A and B are shown apart, each in its own frame.
Chain A
């Protein structure tokens, strides 16, 4: 058999196929690419969520690296304990600790333990795979849900247009914690994930990688289109691809306003937005423009104090 690999990606596979993820699940693909980049000397911690459920149905496991799951809201605290234990035992050198949490586990219920671990400066990479809903429990709203998305707890109806609030600005909140590296990525570019994971792991401090993870079930699109949607999220400026390194924001792939594709192109293929009126779509375009313009306003400047 001939194994084809993308030039620049590691051959190591730490997340075995054969798991129970949905056909077309991009979150599982993200996990695979992250672990390829981090290599075998990695301890993984997962928050409760789809990825934990699909990968560990006893007695099977997809994890070929040491892996631990405790509860929904405490993955960062568990990682803190691993960091301290390895230090205490003199085994901390050359071991990567990576936490995987979905948006519910990160933006919402695990936000306190994440903030606490970042503040204490534990060295680990937090990967948030953001599919903008509690997909595992049946697509309920989280604070990461995109505005006006239809979810089972913010259904679009005669009197409601879906989720009415903006998305919690996690990247900026994490940057305000003073950690030296925050980046965003999507499964549309595996090499970009790989490069950012390696960079994050080379830093002796807490780091965070926020990965937009299109979800077949929550977003409602045809299976193979997930990668296209992830690409469109960047091209429409819905999901800015960036790094905040030592307090300075740079765009990995900057999309100038005149080159940006209209948000409709990203929204229309998704069932969660099929209730949108032209007026709501215009509101989303304004929201997306404003968020991107804010990021542009701090681009290249020392916008955040770095504490670690």
Chain B
């Protein structure tokens, strides 16, 4: 519902949608607002997620602010269109209520759907609360539509844990949102008065240049994400770390956990508990998987002795993908913390305080990570 409120506040023009658990609540809520005349959004009830993202592409290219939402198998079906939207530099926002991938079929939360789509040129924001889901969705449009970025943004919220939860949320005033997020003003659109070609074929002599531009834009988005977070704070008095990393009790921490999404709420309790025992522990909540804020991470960890990485996904045959990213970030550092990785919370398995405390303790003892069943 909080995401639907953000869609309303962002004055989304077009919402192509296909229902899938646990993202359906968002679609139902937007449909209700349209039915009651609260918003003027054109809803397209397409026949598949593949068509949802394809219709989104046609819509953005026509100059309409566009939003869609999905989960799990739906995101997998959309996969083909993910790099086509980013490759054409079309800004849009998609909320993903993260859910495990089949098989066995499972409707509950983990991060395998979105993390599997990591390398397709979409900025990935990962939120911790319903309030952040709302705020991040509004910020996502601002980031996506920035002329130095022009990339689609995926707002990831944990399925059920965040998509089906009731908690009080502060809904910003429309006027304030309007001052934060101006009307969508794309440079290139499908316009008979100024005809342009979208989606041409690029031969080997130019394809790499297109991809380099995309990579540059993704890297440049780091500053834009930070600015969106700052500007948002000025108007709404709320911010999320520096926009990319959300640090908790890291100032003097020697040991830390890094993870994404709602598990960080549980991690905060663990940190508080261990702090009472005078242990110098902290939390790094990664808010953007891509762009990956490497320099910020290194800076945040400069006094760290050990870091436990929690992955809610596995790269089968190797390790958790976040562990790989984090280890890679530290590779060239002379002084680096001991890093271990944990696979946790697959297919809706609870991640408990005990799990995270164990992960921290194993990190403190410089022992290898494991699957936290």
Contacts and interface: CB of A to CB of B under 8 A. Distances in A.
B80 interface: yes
B61 to A, nearest CB: 5
B54 interface: yes
A56 interface: yes
B59 A85 contact: yes
A46 to B, nearest CB: 8
Interface residues of B, number: 43
Interface in A54-78: 56-59, 61, 63-71, 73-74, 76-78
B24 interface: no
Given A81-B59, A88-B64, A116-B48, A74 B54 contact: yes
B51 interface: yes
A74 B50 contact: yes
B151 interface: no
A85 B62 contact: yes
A57 B190 contact: no
A59 B197 CA distance: 10
Interface in B12-70: 13-14, 16, 40-42, 44-48, 50-52, 54-64, 66
Interface stretch (B169-177, B200-208, B334-342): B200-208
Given A84-B42, A88-B40, A113-B51, A66 B58 contact: no
B104 interface: no
Interface residues on A, range: 35 or more
A276 B61 CA distance: 48
A84 B47 contact: no
B54 A71 contact: yes
Interface string A244-266: 00000000000000000000000
A83 B42 CA distance: 10
Contact of B55 (A61, A73, A84): A84
A56 B54 contact: no
Nearest to A87: B42
Interface stretch (A35-43, A159-167, A208-216): A35-43
B213 to A, nearest CB: 13
A68 B195 contact: no
A95 B64 CA distance: 16
Nearest to B188: A66
B51 A116 contact: yes
A52 interface: yes
A87 to B, nearest CB: 6
A172 interface: no
Interface in B175-216: 190-192, 194-203, 206
B6 interface: no
Interface string B84-107: 100000000000000000000000
A168 interface: no
B81 interface: yes
Contacts of A70: 54, 57-58, 81, 84, 199
Contact of A81 (B57, B196, B206): B57
A258 B60 CA distance: 55
Residue from A53, A61, A68, A83 having most chain B Cβ neighbours under 10 A: A68
B81 A66 contact: no
12 contacts: A52-B201, A56-B201, A57-B203, A64-B195, A66-B192, A69-B198, A71-B54, A73-B50, A77-B55, A85-B42, A88-B42, A89-B13
Closest 3 A/B residue pairs (Cβ): A81-B58, A116-B47, A81-B55
Given A56-B197, A56-B199, A71-B54, 7 more contacts: A57-B200, A66-B194, A76-B51, A77-B51, A78-B55, A87-B42, A91-B62
